[in-house]
Amino acid sequence: MDRICELAKGKCKPCEGGVAPLAEAEAARYLAALSGWRQHGTTISKTYRFKNYHETMAFVNATAWISHREDHHPNLAVGYNQCTATYTTHAIGGLSENDFICAAKIDALFSL
């Protein structure tokens, strides 16, 4: 839990490219700090479930606000009572620390 709090307090860095994606071991270490997130190749994703569409859209809007502030945007797949968030860093063709920071920030929405 402490590592998630540390990640959620982090500030994303600009996605400029020119750096290597995280090594597998480093990505695994970050992933271990997050609950319910899964790695699929060069992405991480998590499906959030809600009681209804209104709650789903509130989550989508809160995620959009965080994404705008951090300038790091997930792909969102939205359904009636669920939303799957998927992060990757396109500028480097893989996972970056930013992906895990933003994942922790949207996880933190549930601890408010």
> The domain that contains 31 carries what CATH number?
3.30.1360.20
Asked whether residue 83 is assigned to any structural domain, the reply reads yes
Predicted pLDDT of residue 6: 65
Asked whether residue 51 is assigned to any structural domain, the reply reads yes
Predicted pLDDT of residue 27: 96
Quote the domain boundaries for residue 95: 2-10+22-111
Where the chain has pLDDT below 70, the residues are 1-8, 10-17, 112
Predicted pLDDT of residue 73: 93
Predicted pLDDT of residue 7: 64
- Structure pTM? 0.88
Helices within 33-96 (DSSP H only): 53-70
Domains: count for the chain: 1
